[in-house]
Amino acid sequence: MKIANVILSVILLLAGGNFVFSQTLEHVSSIVTPGDCRDLITEGDIAYVADGEMGLSLFDITDHQIPNYLGTAHATSDDIAKSVWKREGENIAWVADVDGRIMTVDVSLPLDPNSSNNVTLGFDQNLQDIYGIVIQDTIYICAVSSEYSHRVLSIFQMVYRYGIPGLGDYYVIPPFDLPASAYGVYAESSYVYVADGVAGLIIFDIGDIGQPEPASHLDLIGRSLSIMVQGNYAYLAAETAGLLIVDVSDRLNPVMISQYDTPGHATDVHVVGNYAYLVDNESGLNVIDITDPAVPSFVCGYETSGSANGIYANDNYIYVADFDSLLIFDFNPTGLIETQEDIAGQFSIRGNYPNPFNVSTTLSFSIYETGNVLITIYNLAGQKIRTLVNEVRSPGEYKIAWDAKNLPSGVYFAKLEIGDYSESAKLMLLK
């Protein structure tokens, strides 16, 4: 289904130059999924969606503007697919089932929702509520969460060589008890990182797969639901605490270095290059600049219509599992466009104080030539909330108060416009 494009742009001035850096987020398309999509991953022209009670659903994304549903695979009517993982080049997709099983799906065959011919249950080790799954080399790793007795990290060594692995193709390493309900897991090199709910981050050393052991435990704010590691940093979606960034260069002594809060509950995160893509069940998609992980900054976002559960990004495309729909976005972070010479030195909006704020805040701005000044407040969806200034002003420094007592907590933007020039500042309202 092709829909009207929605484009949000953030323009950042480059000091002392004649160009600006343009970051554009475009909502390209949406397609309804058969079930309640919880997680997704893409490879090539295919999106693999953990589709709740429907199991695994596949979509052809060759044309991002017109995604095409290919089919669904599930083993039993009790399956509730929560997470999906796929290794590049293989014809197998791995699906974590909330009811405690691992499905392996032969995705080289046509998917038929009325048949389970291409689905193998893999194994059922008396686990319950499997929420996270990741595969590294021949190591099969899953984090499970439900009843207190099942709060464990389970690691399985795959020993199969050909075909789809079955019940006898795994070597089971004794599971590790976890202090809280785990929801996300990530494997990198010889370490496993567990997003352990209210217990924060737990790192395991699996250098000796026969005798893996805990390396460290870091208590964190919020409830850690998802995790991804890039370089020396771990990025966690921590529900009410938003995005948490942890320095894991020393796996024995991880240190939280920064936080980017979001209005609702952050549910999943995916990191590519200098950007963290975070989904929040209230504000939807958030693109965050992590060029300096110690100072994450909001770039742009899109308020989705559903409840965003999962996210995946590659190349310039972002894919969001939004409850009953797969959403596709085009994000262009590298466009340079020409502007007036030295315009950055002529006008500026210097943000607000306090920020975050409760009820009211004061914005500061400067103009260096007489002109009509327009300052408008927008919400995260790009809707105009209020016009603060719309009048001719002489050169000088100005301050203006904004009373937001009748608005809900969330991220807002103040946009300064003078002639052809515009600049924005992010405002965080917390009540």
CATH number at residue 313: 2.130.10.10
Instruction: Looking at the structure, tell me whether residues 40 and 144 fall in a common domain.
Output: yes
Q: What is the pLDDT of residue 364?
A: 82
Q: What's the chain's average pLDDT?
A: 80
Residue 291 and residue 204 share a domain: yes
Query: Tell me, what CATH number does 370's domain have?
Result: 2.60.40.1930
Domain of residue 392, residue span: 346-429
Q: How many domains does the chain have?
A: 2
Tabulate helix, strand, coil % of the chain (nearest 5).
0, 60, 40
Task: Give yes or no: residues 376 and 256 share one domain.
Answer: no
Q: Residue 116 has what pLDDT? A: 55
At 63 the pLDDT is: 94
Nearest to 223 by CA among 135, 152, 320, 145: 145
Q: Is the pTM of this model over 0.85?
A: no
Of the residues 306, 321, 336, the one at which a domain ends? 321
Burial of 242 (0-12, 13-18, 19+ CB in 10 A): buried
* pLDDT surpasses 80 at 343: no
Instruction: Give a yes or no: residue 367 inside a domain.
Output: yes
Classify residue 25: in a domain, yes or no: no
What distance in Å separates the CA atoms of residue 249 and residue 60, rounded to the nearest whole number?
38
Q: Is residue 9 part of a domain?
A: no
Band of pLDDT at residue 293, cut at 50, 70 and 90:
very high
Closest CA to 55 of 99, 88, 1: 99
Instruction: Judge if 302 and 358 occupy the same domain.
Output: no
Q: Given pLDDT bands bounded at 50, 70 and 90, which one contains residue 159?
A: low
Lowest mean pLDDT across 30-39, 209-218, 344-353, 395-404: 344-353
Q: Is residue 61 a part of any domain in this protein?
A: yes
Shared domain for 121 and 160, answered yes or no, is yes
Predicted confidence at residue 265, as pLDDT, reads 93
For residues 219 and 222, give the distance between their C-alpha atoms in angstroms, rounded to a whole number. Answer: 10
The pLDDT value recorded for residue 139 is 65
Q: Is residue 239 part of a domain?
A: yes
Establish how many alpha carbons lie within 13 A of residue 320's alpha carbon, considering only the half-sphere containing its beta carbon. 31
| Percentage of residues of the chain with pLDDT beyond 70 | 76
Considering the domain architecture, whether residues 196 and 288 belong to the same structural domain is answered as: yes
Residue found by looking up tokens 């399956």 in the block: 79
Q: What digits encode the pLDDT tens for the residues 38-84? A: 999 999 999 999 998 888 899 999 999 999 999 888 756 566 888 89
The partner residues of 330 in beta bridges, in order of sequence, read 26, 317
pLDDT at 118: 58
What is the Cα–Cα distance from 153 to 146, expressed in whole angstroms? Answer: 12
The verdict on residue 17 lying in a domain is: no
| 94 and 153 part of one domain | yes
pLDDT band with cut points at 50, 70 and 90 for residue 26: confident
Are 246 and 350 within one domain?
no
Residues in the chain: 431
Q: Which residue has the higher pLDDT, 233 or 417?
A: 233
Do residues 166 and 269 both lie within one domain? yes
Cα distance between residue 285 and residue 71, in whole Å? 26
Q: What are the C-alpha distances in Å from 319 to residues 42, 111, 149, 211, 382? A: 8, 21, 35, 37, 20
Which has more confidence, 126 or 73? 73
Look up residue 143 and give its DSSP letter.
E
Q: Given a cut of 50, is residue 89 above it in pLDDT? A: yes
Residue 431 reports pLDDT greater than 50: yes
pLDDT, residue 2, reads: 30
Per-residue model confidence (pLDDT) at position 149: 52
Indicate if the pLDDT at residue 112 is higher than 80.
no
More confident residue, 380 or 171: 380
* Residue 310 and residue 350 share a domain: no
Q: Which of 321, 355, 378 is a domain's end point?
A: 321
Q: Are residues 286 and 350 in the same domain?
A: no
pLDDT > 90 in the chain, percent: 35
- pLDDT digits over 262-292, tens only? 888 999 999 999 999 999 988 899 999 898 9
Task: Assess whether 131 and 222 both reside in one domain.
Answer: yes
Of 304, 321, 338, the residue that ends a domain is 321
What is the rounded average pLDDT of the residues 108-123? 59
The answer to whether position 248 is within a domain reads yes
